[in-house]
Structure 1
């Protein structure tokens, strides 16, 4: 009768060999895994610590509180500068009043036959020269540099309109001189057209001045005539 397989010597020899081989292979696999882990750990870059500001941290910004006294003084200074400009502005305009009134009076007298053409011619020429002089004064009128840019721009436009207005007036008076010389009605048409242009520019100039006054908080009052 044959012996069972597990009682034969070669069966146990194979089993012993298989067990030893399994243990050896397991040890090799473990050593290989540890080696790979070590290599990977060496190759992996070192993690850098980055500090992120906490969202709860508050950034303090120094904000200077407005100084009411300083603001009031600054406002007053701007108002004074615009008021002085306005005084000079209308002073230039009024400087020719006597000459222009004489021209008007002589023209009225001529129409009534109470004066001669030569007298009217002289007063008209004076009016033309005065208009050109006032035009130059407006062009040379200085706008205060300490004012805000928007206020300065309005004042620049104001004096520019008045300078243009008086140029148109000088052209109107020149048309009257030509009419007195040649008696052509077309010259009086030119006179009326130039006076109309002068009036439009005068209105625009005064309007820009009023807007500048409003910008600095000055009360708008009607100009005394």
Structure 2
């Protein structure tokens, strides 16, 4: 009887999703549908709630690695793969959206993509979005990680990559693990240095985003380019 009650409880979010739509479910209920089964310590909803608490919400969860996920009791290889797959689907959907039209017409999607990709990284990562002459996204690549400065982001490497991708413009983004989204003086100096290097080959630096787990600060919007 107890087993039947647990099964019924686990099915309720699915039934509600089918009848009323996914928007009616909580974060934990949506995650429970993905995980499907719980652990010896509790049902699947308890496991979903434990994951969200451990990673402080969906953003932290979707930015986690397999190793980080499997540190949570009840999460093995199969469940960590399920979460990682959802995370990658989310990033690819945002990337696909950016490739459908001029990137400058989608500033919020650019920010969401960069947050999803590097927002929760524990060390600094620098991302370059390469755009064509219609300002549509060609590709996005990580160009550096570690402390982001003139010693780690080489202008000649960025110029070479821009030419290889036949890019006419670039948007840069790098994360601040500290959670402070304000650009430092080093960030501003690096941006100016890269902008000047790119201008020599007629490639425009359109923006440099400073990324934190839930926010993207645009240097262009703050007249720092």
Mark yes or no: TM-score above 0.5.
no
- TM category (shorter chain) comes to under 0.3
Q: Identify the structure with the greater helix proportion.
A: 1
**Could you say which structure has the higher strand fraction?**
2
Larger-Rg structure: 1
> What is the TM-score when the length of structure 1 is the normalising length?
0.23
Higher relative contact order (CA 8 A, sep 6+): 1
Per the normalisation by structure 2, the TM-score is 0.23
